[in-house]
Amino acid sequence: MGTVYRAVDSDQGTVVALKLLTSRDPRGEDRFAHEAQVLATLDHPGVVRYIAHGADAAGQRWLAMEWLDGEDLATRIQRAALSVDESVAIALAAAQALAAAHVRGVVHRDIKPSNIFLVGGDTHHIKLLDFGIARLSGSTRIFTQSGAVIGTPGYMAPEQARGETAEPRADVFSLGAVLFECLTGRPAFAGAHAVAVLARLLLEDAPRVSESRQGVPTALDAIIARMLAKEPAARPANATETATLLRQFSSEVTPPPGNAALAGGEQRVLSIVIAAPGEGAVSSSDDTVPASHDAESGTAIQAALHPLGARMDRLANGAVIVTLENAGSATEQAMLAARCAFLLGPLFSSDSGSARVRIAVVTGRAVLTGRLPVGELLDRAAAMLLAPPPQLGVAYVDETTQALLDTRFEMMRGVAGRELYGERELGERVRTLLGRPSPCVGRDREVRAIADLFEECFEEKLARAVLVTGPPGIGKSRLRGETVQRIRERRPDAEIWTGRGDLVGDGAPFALLGSTLRNAARIATNASLPARQASLLERLSQRLAGPEQQHVVEFLCEIAGAPFPDDHRPLLRAARQSGPLMGDQIARAFTTLLAAEAEGHPLCLVLEDLHWGDVPSVRLIHQALRQLTDAPFFVIAFARPEVHERFPRLWAEQCTQEIRLGPLPRRAAERLVRHALGATVSVTRVSEIIERAEGNAFYLEELIRAVAEDRSELLPETVLAMVQTRLTTLDPVTRQVLRAASVFGEVFWAEAVAMLLGRADDTTLTLERVRALVEQEILVPRGGSRLAEQGEYIFRHALLREAAYALLTEEDRVLGHRLAGEWLEKHGERNALVLAAHHELGGEGPRAASFYARAAEEAVWGGDVEAAISHAQRGLACAAASESRAPLLGMLCEIGALQFTPADDILPKVEEVVRLAPRGSMPWVQGMFARSTIAIQAGRIAEMSATLELLRETSPSRDAEGLLAVALGFGACQLDLLGRIREADDLTERLAAIAGSSERDPLASMFWHATAAFRSAYVKNDPWGAIAPAEALRDRALATGHRSMLGVAHMLLGMSRGLLGFSTDAEQLLSAADVPDDEMGFNSSVRPFSLAWVLADREAFDEARACATRLIRSGSERGMPLDEGRGRWVLAEICYRSGDLDSAEREIMTALERLGDCSQLDFPGALATLAEVRLAQSRPREALAAASEARAKLAAIGGCSFLRSLAVLLVYSECLDLNGEHGAAETAVAEAQRHLLGIAAKMGNPADRANFLDRVYERRGSLKIAR
């Protein structure tokens, strides 16, 4: 309406705020003049001071006010949080200013944060602004006409929202909304659209400040609640009374509740209808809104809706909100809402006189606790009203309403969505159904197939796996029960272990196998740690003994929730510091156990809900199936179809047979219906039930129950609504028990439910209700409870649990998960992801973060890097400002360093963890390790060197020694690639000191041996010197079961033996590929490069070329120029030796381009290959140029990779000789011979020495020239 300028009063010479009217609308001019009139009557330090107003010669209206420096309250709230004292100071100052206005008969009517100015940013010095819509006592014209401004949604009082006259109590309500926002940082009433906010003002009670912010004084909480009362009479009478209350409130802080328990509220299905005359009714919630109806305009509409039991609220902006309470089922509510829409269309159009009437019908769950919070539904409806009016129908409907209305109403697709057009004429226990055993129908073929496969597994001693998939409710659990029973009948001696994927802890590392081991050993969750260890030991002692038994127990207890201390267990301690080592040990222990179990009798592993399983468990089962090929080991897994998205190619190498459960055959479904309802049920009814069930066994049984209980006519059209309809027939106390049970997932304990309900001291009532639910076939007792002396129960079906969980209010969900997490933690729950999920959902961010950190660590143990990253990131989201961030950040940094994560993704985490964690701690070392790799990737060599030097000078904590060794070794190898060998020597020396005694830290010791061996063979041109540390690494890796390090040892031995001329041994070692190349990090090219070279040495050119080509392709696809460059280098050597000189030239030139930026150490050797090709092409001068460059780089760097320094000297001498420089050639040959014989001299065995001198390709030439 107006624009404010900084101006100078020419008479007084003072700075003023000059407001110019920008609108020529008569109502805008009236409001402008009105504001000047009001300000002229007010003289208070808390109200912006009036100076003058008028109009210039051109008719431009202006208003001069005092100039203010500072910021408005809206800006302050967005910028930083306000303390309780600051918030009260602002509210008190505003109340005092409003009191002066109220005394003079002025009601502001638009109190909001942007109209409260903090002079100089001082919360004790405020000014009220914008009196443009203020009401003056005795003035009515501006407030009763259609289109007059009435206030801002979210801050106006309910009576303003209804278009009623605003009294001082309206300002009190608005000030209460401002104070609420000061304390909580969010509006008391919010929404994306004005109509949604206005409806909240009318239909919902204001939230309590104490629910959103801890530490608010009790008296202040009560004052704000009173200021925000729906009824004006319940509020303070005016601003003067409000100011008095704010001065006098007590500073007593609200005490935490003594015994927190779930409340009695629950969510129910609710349908609402919104009608609006035009676009203005659904404008932004930040805008002031105009009144657009008179007080009596809604009478006809209300009279028409009354027979349908609908409640109507008409807003001041002309919108109508219709709610349907106590309307029965979801289907009934949706039908009534649709009929309301049909009535509203003509009535609303007639009343508004507008053709642009918009109507929306939406359905969803709302909390019922005495008030009617429909805000989320209102937001959805208001969003629909932004679309153009329906073209043919009368209203838009959302998807839920559409599904509930089904075929009873005509609907069509319009431009902006589905339109409502018209109403059609209406036309391991025995499973029980209606209290009787229910037969398993329609699955005989599947049961027989699985049982036959089990027989084959036993008779042929052949490990097999079967995967049964099907959607929820299709009958997987029933098939599982029938199959297990059939196997027990055929093979009574079969050992059957069962495990279950966990819904709450979805994907927690080793959760699936952890549950399997606990079930097999009958471990009670709340048993003491020694008792849990003893239970597992007792179970394992049946098949294992001695050291093997101890190893299996120690490492399987890690995943079974019974960890041992590692003070006197160096291998266990080392494994806990190394994810790959821990994973290898767990895999070794699990496979050993299964092999022992399957030795004497068939072993059957039955896995339920595999779609909620975890990657480490699935990998271990895969490994067991592969290693126990000749054992009677049988796996049956049951899962939803999405299991293939979670685990692509699940156990494909083991030829796993999948059985996809389709819909029940019609004849089988009919047999079940007649078995349950009797032979007298009509053919029509049977057909109706079968068609509605659509072959889903669970739906079929629920429909049978509905018919038996005479509620089939009220069935909702969606399964969830159908199940909820069944649950809502239970009494309130029983529903409360069921809701509390659903917090834990599908499995729960009666004692835990009693605790959630505040009845921990007396579980009698809870147990009674649980037993009643068992009788009603909603719950099932579970035998062999993990909790001693406690009954364990499961929901009869996952959808029953989901329906019960959906009944919880948001407040009860948060409280329930918090209490559940505390209870499970207290009673020995070891699944970190389960505890993390409960604490996160319970609003306990720091506690959740600590458990996510543990879950991430366990995922690393299992080799599931993606899961580890996911868990750590979820933990960080929970640990906004807690000490739990450092371990999570450190873990992500370490993973990022090893996975070559892009710098932009990992650098912020590096900076934060280095700042948070003490120097030398594990998170700090992880961060610095990542910083060094980031510098390497970015080519910032000085930064990389400085970071590595800082790491070298650091004294690590005990748990960080192994990783520091990794970081130093990694850094040394990177420096070697860059040709900075002396700096790498310094890091290697520090690495040796950290490794120290081999007993101190197995991981550090192994990495020292790996680095020493690699640098000897690769950098120092001493492959014989690499043999001893490589063999030491191999022995330690075998002793500790470290699969990755064993692969490194074999790679180093193969490379070294190949360089020494032992081609057969080298080829065997390098072909084994114990670890995939892409898991070897920056060393991913060493094995295939060395293997291709060995194959070329024995002239197996086709095999060598295939190996080199794979390396090139892998390097290119993964963006690894080092790998691609080495692949092209060795391919050039192969082409050269096989006589394809053109291809050799092309490949070596490309190789030099790739290697130039990433490996100075490889460059001299590659140049030597180029010189050899040039010589073969009869281009001696160009060959000499390449050889001279290679010789110069070799001298400057002080080394050359893969023992190619000999080739450099040899081809250099040959080039010199061919170019007539015979003396220089002899000098180069002599140098090559000295180096060659120096290596040979270290070999004590004459036969090895002779083989070395006689069989290596370039060495033969060197000796010949020397002679």
- Adjacent-strand bridge partners of 439: none
* Identity of the residue numbered 382: A
Tokens of 1024: 């014989």
Beta strand ranges found along 246-309 (DSSP E): 266-276, 289-290
Query: In DSSP terms, which residues pair with 497 in a beta bridge?
Result: 605
The letter for the amino acid at 531 is: A
501 contacts 494 by C-beta, under 8 angstroms: no
Q: Would you report the helix, strand and coil content of the chain in percent, each value rounded to 5?
A: 60, 10, 30
Find out whether 836 and 875 touch, Cβ atoms under 8 Å: yes
Roughly what angle, to the nearest 10 degrees, separates helices 1063-1072 and 1043-1059?
A: 160
Told to judge if 110 belongs to the known catalytic residues of this protein, a careful annotator would answer yes
Place of tokens 């979805």: 506
| Beta carbons within 8 Å of 1122's beta carbon, 6+ residues apart | 977, 1082, 1085, 1115, 1154, 1155, 1158, 1159, 1162
Q: Name the residue among 354, 442, 333, 446 with its Cα closest to residue 397.
A: 333
Calculate the alpha carbon distances from 492 to 487, 522, 565, 601 in Å.
8, 20, 39, 10
- Give yes or no for a contact between 1203 and 1235, defined as CB atoms under 8 angstroms apart: no
Q: DSSP labels for 1170-1199?
A: HHHHHHHTT-HHHHHHHHHHHHHHHHHHT-
CA distance 863 to 1004: 20
What letter would DSSP give residue 663? P
Token pair, residue 143, equals: 């407030």
Look at strands 657-660 and 464-469 and give their pairing. Answer: parallel
CA distance 1077 to 819: 47
- Strands (E) across 770-910 are located at 779-782, 792-795
Residue 256's closest CA among 298, 211, 317?
A: 211
Closest CA to 580 of 87, 935, 1081: 1081
Query: Cβ(1262)–Cβ(1230) under 8 Å?
Result: no
> Of the residues 110, 313, 1001, 1022, which is catalytic?
110
Tokens coding 804: 């019960």
Contacts of 830 (CB under 8 A, 6+ apart): 514, 525, 560, 561, 562
Q: Choose among 302, 405, 314: nearest CA to 363.
A: 405
According to DSSP, residue 780 is labeled: E
* Edge-first strand listing for the sheet containing 320-324: 310-314, 320-324, 266-276, 358-368, 395-397, 418-423, 409-413
| Calpha distance 353→594 (Å, rounded) | 80
- Coil vs helix vs strand at 842: coil
- Residues with a catalytic annotation lie at 110
